[in-house]
Each structure stands twice: as C-alpha cells, then as structure tokens.
Amino acid sequence: MLDSILFYFFAGVAVTSAALMVTRRNAIHSAVFLITTLLATAGIFLQLGAEFLFIAQIILYVGGIMVLFIFVIMLVRLDVALQHIRFRMKNLVVTIVIAVLGAEAGAIIYYARKLPGQGLFIQNMAPAEKLAPNSERLAESLFSGYLLPFEIASVLLLVAMVGAVVMAKNKKRTPEES
C-alpha cells in the first residue's frame, strides 16, 4: 500500500512537472520544473531499490548538468529567444506527438490491467535488506564483465573533454594571432 502511494506520488510529480517544464514561458521556471522531474524520477529509482542509480541521478543530473543549464540560461538570457519557439498546441507536429504518446500510454495501461497477478497497483517488493547492495554489484559488473566498454567510454569522454578545452582555447587565440 505504502509502495503504491509512494510510486504514484513520485510518478505524478514527475509527469506534472514534465508537462509544466514544456509549457512554461520562462526558461528558468522550465529548468526548475526539469529539476523536480529528475528528483521525482530519482525517487522512483530509490523505491525500486536502486540506490546507486538514485544518487547518481541526483549528483550528475541535478547537481551537475542542471547547474550548468541554469548557468547558461542566466548568462545567455535565453528567455528572450525562447519567446519565439515556445510550446504551442496549434503546432501540428506537437499535436501529433502528443496524440501518439497518449495512445501509447493508454494502451500500456489497458494491457497492464489484464496481466495476471499484476495490475496498476505495484506488487509488494522484497525489503531493501534482502536485496544485494547494488553499488557493489554495479562495480563488479562494470569492472569485470564490461571492463572494455567501460574503459572505451571513459576514454571517449576524456577525448571529448580535452577536445572541448582545445576548441575553446583556439577560438580565444585566433583573433590575437592573425
């Protein structure tokens, strides 16, 4: 019962603030609602017993990426530019996407109700103590089974970072040198 209440609370917050994020005119307000969406999703991760994913979501997305988003919005004054491309129901593409997504969600809810033993109320889960500590499990699979992809991905990220620095530096120097 408590699980269901928590799930529907987090899911409701996530969906509502996602909708608000798309429809707000002010870019900073959109960013704030994106933060609440991310936090609510993190709450669902925690409820599923994926505590490492929960904290990774908070540290990386809310603590890292969203701060850079807000930083850029504040520096660039995006809200002026966004007045022209903001969400409008009249836009045909928007209407089609909403219709398709709504149909999809409706179909999922309709068929989920018919699954045996399932339904819209989620089942009682194993208590957190019985699950294996998943930060250890994640580290194990990352550093044994998937070591090569993991290393390739980190090298890729490093290259991207160095590349970004080099490009930023070059732009600064060219007008002085030429």
Partner 1 sequence: MNPTLHGILVFLETWWVELTSGIVIVAVVPLVAGYVVLVERKLMADMQARLGPMRVGPHGLLQPIADAVKLLIKEDIIPAESDKLIFWLAPVISMVAALTSMGAIAFGPAFQVARDINIGILFVLGVSSLGFLGIILGGWASNSHYSIIGALRSTAQLVSYETAGGLAIISALLLSGTLKISGIVQAQYEQHVWFVFLAPVAAFIYLVASIAETNRAPFDLPEAESELVAGYMTEYSGFRWALYFLGEYANMIVVGSIATTLFLGGWLRPFPNWKGSGLIPEGIVDAGWDLVPAAFLGLIGVYCLYRAGKQPAKAQTWFMWAVALACFVVAALYAIPALLFAMGIGGVAGSLSVAVLPGLNGAFWFLLKVSGYIYVFMWLRFTLPRYRFDQLMHLGWYILIPLAIVNIFAVGVAMLVVANANWNHGLALTLATILGTVVTLLFAALLVRWHDRRTESASAASMAPDSYAG
User: By CB under 8 A, is residue 35 in contact with partner 1?
Assistant: yes
Show contacts with partner 1 in window 6-25 (CB under 8 A).
none
User: By CB under 8 A, is residue 78 in contact with partner 1?
Assistant: no
| Residue 108, Cβ density class (10 Å: 0-12 exposed, 13-18 middle, ≥19 buried) | exposed
Instruction: Give all strands (DSSP E) within 73-137, no chain letters.
Output: none
Show contacts with partner 1 in window 112-141 (CB under 8 A).
133-135
Pair 82, 27: CB distance under 8 Å? yes
**What is the CA 37 to chain-centroid distance, rounded?**
8
User: By CB under 8 A, is residue 32 in contact with partner 1?
Assistant: yes
Minimum CB–partner distance for residue 6 and partner 1 (Å): 13
> 86-92: which pairs have CB atoms within 8 A and are 24 or more residues apart?
86/25, 87/22, 87/23
User: By CB under 8 A, is residue 80 in contact with partner 1?
Assistant: no
Considering only 67, 108, 156, 157, the residue that binds partner 1 (CB under 8 A) is: 67
Interacting residues toward partner 1 by CB under 8 A: 1-2, 26, 28-29, 32, 35, 51-52, 54-55, 58-59, 62-64, 66-68, 70-71, 74-75, 133-135, 176
